Amino acid sequence: MEVDKPAAMQIIVAWRDNKWVVMRDAAEIGSYAYRAHAMAMARTLSTEAAGRGVECYMLVRERDGRWDEHPCPKPARDG
């Protein structure tokens, strides 16, 4: 079964092996030494979701292993 337009984009920001990994729909996008850089990529992905007209949600795995669901960051502004 194929879906023409996914209902939502999943963004995951997870602490793994001494770095922050960012994934979009379970595909790794990049890894970063600093959380702020990972969150900047999450914001970029949120902008992409908004541009495609799909909903977005974000899961974050903290350093202690705890998972939390968050609203996606506000899309990046041009400027």
Quick check: is 77 in a domain? no
Q: Is residue 40 part of a domain?
A: yes
pLDDT digits (tens, 9 = 90+) for 31-48: 999 999 999 999 999 999
Query: How does pLDDT run across 14-26, given as a tens digit for each residue?
Result: 999 999 999 999 9
Instruction: Compute how many other C-beta atoms are within 10 angstroms of the C-beta atom of residue 20.
Output: 23
Please tell me the pTM assigned to this model: 0.83
How many separate domains does the chain show?
1
d(CA 10, CA 24): 6
> Domain for residue 78, yes or no?
no
d(C-alpha 8, C-alpha 49), whole Å: 8
The pLDDT, as a whole number, for residue 4 is 62
* 12 domain-assigned: yes
